[in-house]
């Protein structure tokens, strides 16, 4: 039952050329409550990035589509070098009962001390964004999310299941936008936002689910040697 509180959250799709952000507001309470899109933001330079910080400071939770840091990697034997959260989404032998639906990831964060491929240079810029947001918005709960994995979950759990077209195609973007119809008061022309905008929206939906306390799953390890990484996906 809705208790009258309004939840305000954000989602960020990070890129080296632009940062897309979507901010939602919605009621706290029943699982049937869905949020609305309150604001969208595109950061192309320092001024827009400063405005993004201000917008994040006004919400309770923000999901970010980028890793926050390098770690020493998952210590479990027999898995590819990666953070524990990435292993939980990518491996079948990782100390959990089963692989978390949503993976595997195509880009794994290099472990500390390992070579950093040029194609993953965007991650280093993402680390800087995480540091900035955490330092400027200490009361906000920031967490990592992975929109592609959330869409994989939504597609496979749909009835009937949806076979998604490639993310880079107009059909794939439209299919992903359609999957969000029951989850958010859909803004007009959502498919015309493009993939980055839709990814930011599903990152914001993950933040909303965390804020209300249901409708999400966290990929990661709980063993003593865990590197502390986690990735939150919507269900």
Q: H-helix or E-strand containing 113?
A: none
How much is the pLDDT for 219? 87
Q: How far is 107 from 72, CA to CA, in rounded Å?
A: 16
**Is the CATH code 3.30.420.10 the one for domain 6-234?**
yes
Q: How far is 181 from 75, CA to CA, in rounded Å?
A: 40
Output the six-digit token pair for 88: 């939980």
Q: Which residues of the chain have pLDDT under 50?
A: 1
Residues with Cβ within 8 Å of 189's Cβ and at least 6 positions away in sequence, in order, are none
Handedness of CA 137, 139, 140, 144 (dihedral sign): positive
CB 89 within 8 A of CB 217: no
Model confidence, pTM: 0.92
pLDDT in tens, 75-122: 877 777 889 888 888 765 555 555 667 777 788 899 998 889 999 989
Side-chain half-sphere exposure of 188, counting CA atoms within 13 A: 0
How much is the pLDDT for 75? 81
């Amino acid at each position: 039952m809705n208790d009258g509180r309004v939840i305000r959250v954000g989602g960020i799709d990070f890129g080296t050329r632009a940062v897309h952000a979507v901010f939602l507001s919605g009621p706290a309470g029943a699982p049937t409550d869905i949020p609305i899109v309150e604001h969208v933001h595109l950061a192309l330079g320092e001024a827009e990035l400063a405005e993004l910080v201000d917008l994040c400071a006004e919400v309770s939770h923000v999901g970010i589509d980028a890793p926050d840091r390098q770690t020493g990697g998952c210590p479990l034997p027999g898995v590819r070098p990666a953070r524990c959260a990435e292993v939980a989404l990518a491996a079948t032998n990782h100390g959990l009962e089963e692989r978390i639906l949503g993976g595997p990831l195509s880009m794994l964060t290099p472990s500390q001390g390992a070579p950093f491929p040029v194609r993953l240079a965007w991650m280093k810029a993402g680390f800087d964004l995480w540091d900035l947001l955490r330092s400027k918005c200490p009361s906000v709960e920031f967490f990592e999310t992975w929109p592609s994995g959330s869409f994989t979950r939504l597609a496979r759990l749909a009835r009937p299941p949806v076979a998604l077209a490639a993310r880079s195609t107009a059909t794939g973007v439209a299919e992903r936008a359609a999957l969000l119809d029951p989850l958010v008061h859909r803004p007009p022309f959502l498919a015309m936002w493009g993939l980055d905008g839709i990814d930011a929206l599903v990152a914001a939906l993950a933040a909303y689910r965390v804020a209300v306390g249901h409708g999400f799953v966290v990929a990661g390890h709980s063993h003593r040697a865990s590197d502390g990484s986690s990735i939150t996906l919507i269900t």
